[in-house]
Amino acid sequence: MLPDLERLIRLQHLDNATVEARRTVAAIPERMTALDDRLHASRARVEDARREREETQKSRREVEKRHGEVQSRLTRFRDQLMGVKTNKEYTAMQHEIATAEEEVARLEDTILERMLQTDELDAAVDAAERGDRGETEAVERERAELETLRARMETELTGASVERARLTESIGPASLRLFESIAGQRRGLAVVEARNGHCTVCNVRLRPQVFNQILLNTELIRCESCLRVLYHDPNRAPERPAEEPPGDGSANDPAPPGERPPGNRS
């Protein structure tokens, strides 16, 4: 492979990794905020469950207090019943007693209801607290992971910057200028792979002659459409040369003849 092409490919990989690492670092604060939000939501669920239980308990205490009051009123009425003088007073007193008894029964129902609710709310508070402990652990773990990631990305960025400086020194000035000029116009993407007869970025179909030349990786060839430098990745499965130069008996073409794509004459 042409040494400058090889170095430009490395430079491009380095720049791509740098962009990716910067993007990852930039996204960390937002991910941290999302973790904080999760924690707040979890705490709020605990608070809500506790508040609801508190309110139910308060309501139960009020009902119990009222129950005690009506109960003593009832006792007083029963005592007074002994001392009434007339039938009219007796009937009125009995009416008072019946009313108080009804209220006592109703209050007892309510107390029972509140007790059952409190049991349910105890369970709800337990569940919310358990959930919060789990969420706190998960969030702390994820925070630590993000910190580790940030540190790793920063090390990577420093390393990439050192390597880039070293690498650019070894690239011919004209090749480097070409790279920087295309990168400047093409959002940092100057060197891209050609595959299956196409530029992998702009997808334009390359002329067979051009593609065959790219397969050799012996010069800097630019995409006619997006103007990026194109290369063939030798680690990829061997590419079939495009059907232009009648078979030169190339030795680096191990595929059986049956796999040749149907001739296209577009």
Among 2, 111, 167, 202, binds Zn ion (CB under 5 A): 202
Report, in Å, the least distance between residue 32 CB and Zn ion.
38
Among 139, 199, 206, 242, binds Zn ion (CB under 5 A): 199
Between 176 and 192, whose beta carbon lies closer to Zn ion?
Answer: 192
Judged by CB under 5 A, the stretch of 87-95, 116-124, 176-184, 192-200 that binds Zn ion is 192-200
Q: Which residues contact 265 (CB under 8 A, 6 or more apart)?
A: none
Report, in Å, the least distance between residue 211 CB and Zn ion.
12
Q: Is 67 left (phi over 0), alpha (psi -120 to 50) or beta?
A: alpha
Among 225, 234, 250, 255, binds Zn ion (CB under 5 A): 225
Judged by CB under 5 A, the stretch of 22-30, 45-53, 156-164, 221-229 that binds Zn ion is 221-229
Between 139 and 199, whose beta carbon lies closer to Zn ion?
Answer: 199
Among 49, 70, 100, 223, binds Zn ion (CB under 5 A): 223
Least Cα distance to 130 among 52, 45, 40 occurs for 45
Burial of 25 (0-12, 13-18, 19+ CB in 10 A): middle
Report, in Å, the least distance between residue 8 CB and Zn ion.
15
Report, in Å, the least distance between residue 221 CB and Zn ion.
11
Handedness of CA 165, 168, 169, 173 (dihedral sign): negative
What are the two backbone dihedrals, phi and then psi, of residue 4, each rounded to the nearest 5 degrees?
Answer: -65, -35
Report, in Å, the least distance between residue 11 CB and Zn ion.
18
Give the count of beta carbons closer than 10 Å to the beta carbon of residue 258.
Answer: 5
Long-range contacts of 183-187 (CB under 8 A, 24+ apart): 183/15, 185/227, 186/226, 186/227, 186/228
Q: Taking CB under 5 A as the rule, does residue 185 contact Zn ion?
A: no
Between 81 and 201, whose beta carbon lies closer to Zn ion?
Answer: 201
State the DSSP code for 249. Answer: -
Judged by CB under 5 A, the stretch of 68-76, 92-100, 196-204, 209-217 that binds Zn ion is 196-204
**Hey, what's the torsion of the CAs at 133, 136, 137, 140, to 10 degrees?**
-170
Report, in Å, the least distance between residue 207 CB and Zn ion.
12
Contact set with Zn ion (CB under 5 A): 199, 202, 223, 225-226
